[in-house]
Amino acid sequence: MKEFKGKTAVITGAAHGFGAVLALEAARRGMKLLLADIDAPALDAVAAEARALGAEATAFAADLSLYENVHEMIARAVATYGTVDLLINNAGIAFRGKVWAVPPTDVDWMIDINLKAMLWGMHEAMPIMMAQGTPCHIVNVSSGAGITTARGMAAYHATKHAVVAATESTAYDLEEQGITNIGLTLFLPGYIQTDLHHCEQRRPARYRQDMPYHRTGTWRADQAQLEADITGGLPIDVVVPAVFGAIENDQFYVVTHPETLKIVAVRAEDMIEGRTPSIARLRSALT
Ligand SMILES: NC(=O)c1ccc[n+]([C@@H]2O[C@H](COP(=O)([O-])OP(=O)(O)OC[C@H]3O[C@@H](n4cnc5c(N)ncnc54)[C@H](O)[C@@H]3O)[C@@H](O)[C@H]2O)c1
Give the catalytic positions in this structure: 156
For the Cβ of 64 lying below 6 angstroms from any atom of ligand 1, the answer is: yes
DSSP-based three-state secondary structure for 6: coil
| Widest CA span in the chain | 56
In a structure prediction context, what are the per-residue pLDDT tens digits for the chain, which is 287 residues long? 999 999 999 999 999 999 999 999 999 999 999 999 999 999 999 999 999 999 999 999 999 999 999 999 999 999 999 999 999 999 999 999 999 999 999 999 999 999 999 999 999 999 999 999 999 999 999 999 999 999 999 999 999 999 999 999 999 999 999 999 999 999 999 999 999 999 999 999 999 988 899 999 999 999 999 999 999 999 999 999 999 999 999 999 999 999 999 999 999 999 999 999 999 999 998 98
**Which of 10, 11, 18, 161 for a ligand 1 pocket mutation test, highest count of atoms within 8 Å of Cβ?**
18
**Angle at CA 286, nearest 5°, toward 284 and 230?**
135
For the Cβ of 97 lying below 6 angstroms from any atom of ligand 1, the answer is: no
Cα separation, 199 vs 216, in Å, equals 18
Strand partners, 183: 137
Question: For the chain, how far is it from start to end, CA to CA, in angstroms?
Answer: 39
For the Cβ of 139 lying below 6 angstroms from any atom of ligand 1, the answer is: no
